[in-house]
Chain A
Amino acid sequence: MPVTRINMKKIFFISFLLSSIFAKELYITRSGNIDFFSSTPIEDIKAINNQVSCVLDKNNGQFAFQIPIKAFAFKNALMQEHFNESYLESDIYPKAVFKGKVLGWDKIELSKDSLEVFIEGDLTMHGETNQIKQSGVMWLSSGSIRGECVFNVNLVDYNVKVPKIVRENIAEIIKVNVSVELKKK
């Protein structure tokens, strides 16, 4: 049945073409920003990470974040050491991962104006996974997709143990800011 075989070839050829088209619907960055802020009456602690990678599949609104824990930079080097050694234990858990999707992606039309969106997904950090549902904003900016989001992380949810001696210095709930500029892959 030579005819069927040709059809098969055609199908795969077409699907190959299509996949190469759809592959271009991935938007990606390796230099996204995440900073977090801990505020207590005793001291404010801030850390910045600009090595966050993120990829968004524009076809279905699914996305993934990967955050190298060691790349969080603190003003105080000793804090950075404690963050890695004692709290996030980055030798054992080197990355935090967020897998999620933008809700109602089919109905979303991105434009230059920032649009409020809702995202939902699982954040895995320090070996613990929790669901996060949060609002954020997305907009288009000269060919790239921008996204920003603010959410709170409760240290207890991620089994981060703060020793008694510094418990007064470190907030139980940490405010996290996310900002990415995704470029077409």
Chain B
Amino acid sequence: MKYIFLAFSICFSYSQDDLLDILNDGAVNVEYVQSAFKGTRVANAQSLEIPAPKVLQFMIQHRFGSIENGFYDLFGTDYAAIRYDFSYGFNDVFALGAGRSSFDKVYDIFLKTKLLRQSKGVKNFPISVVLFNDIGIKTNRKSEQTPALKENFSNRLLYINQLIIGRKFNRNLSLQVLPTVIHRNLVLTPDEKHQLASLGFAGRYKITNQFSINADYFIPLDNRDSNYKNSFAVGFDYETGGHVFQVMLSNAQGPYEFTFIEEANGDPSSGKLYLGFNISRAFSFKGNDSETW
């Protein structure tokens, strides 16, 4: 009788923990790793992120003059270089954007495509890979240095192609490398190259849920004009609910890829550095139909 009782009690009772085990057994979801960065930029450099599906992101990238004159021009804030940046997320993997920079009056259009996405669960993949393609059009008037700007429209064009390979290591730390090739149709001297390759590094460390420290750095892969330095930016992200606010200090003034990767002219030893900020606001175009969320 004892055995019967035992056997019956075994087959009768599912404890609540057993019930949870049953639920755990059949988990079949792929979980894509999200929020490696708070913004679509690390500081100057592009991040792994694109705007969420059906979200239009408007970003103002504002860079001040050099801080070297101190209070005289309030650390460069009397001067400004600005880039407006609009980008729209079509789905989880594809975004299209456009921008306009005050420096060289460059209009640019760009695509950001997530080729591979870091994931956990049933499908485990360690990294994300994003392709960034940008075409810039310089619309400044010809000058003594650039008489060729007017000869041919194609002289105004430059192309930026960049792979963003990164990983969110944990909820605080995300790192990425950015192999970059920039092609410019017009060069100023015969010594300058049309094709410029460089390697970027970028990362963020989140201190609190709202605050992170960010940095990026680019190394040219061959010789460059010695007037230009390896570009770097250090800064922080502060997220306020509706906005992401990014403040940075960089040796490059322009927020456009070509300007900060190839034309960084500041130098920490001489105090020639630039303060800047990015502020972004997202506008959602999702419908009210709850089923489509």
Residue positions of A touching B, CB distance < 8 A: 8, 11-12, 14-16, 18-19, 22, 26, 28, 30, 35, 46, 48, 51, 53-55, 57, 59-60, 62-64, 66, 68, 70-71, 73-78, 80-82, 84-86, 89, 91-92, 97, 99-101, 163, 165-166, 169, 185
Verify B19–A166 contact, CB threshold 8 A.
Answer: no
Tell me whether A75 and B31 are in contact in the complex, defined as CB-CB below 8 angstroms, given that A11-B3, A11-B7 are known contacts: no
Verify B34–A81 contact, CB threshold 8 A.
Answer: yes
Verify B20–A66 contact, CB threshold 8 A.
Answer: yes
A96 to B196, CA, bound (A): 51
Write 23 A-B pairs (CB below 8 A) sorted by A numbering.
A12-B7, A15-B7, A22-B12, A30-B28, A53-B23, A55-B19, A55-B23, A63-B19, A66-B23, A68-B29, A75-B286, A77-B51, A77-B52, A80-B52, A81-B34, A81-B52, A85-B171, A99-B16, A99-B17, A100-B16, A165-B240, A165-B241, A169-B241
Tell me whether A15 and B11 are in contact in the complex, defined as CB-CB below 8 angstroms, given that A74-B293, A84-B35 are known contacts: yes
Verify B20–A18 contact, CB threshold 8 A.
Answer: no
Interface centre among B23, B34, B242, B284 (most CB of A within 10 A): B23
Verify B35–A26 contact, CB threshold 8 A.
Answer: no
Verify B3–A8 contact, CB threshold 8 A.
Answer: yes
B76-108 vs A: 1/0 string, CB under 8 Å? 000000000000000000000000000000000
B257-293 vs A: 1/0 string, CB under 8 Å? 0000000000000000000000000101010101001
User: What 6 pairs between A and B have smallest CB-CB spacing?
Assistant: A77-B52, A19-B11, A15-B7, A64-B19, A86-B209, A91-B171
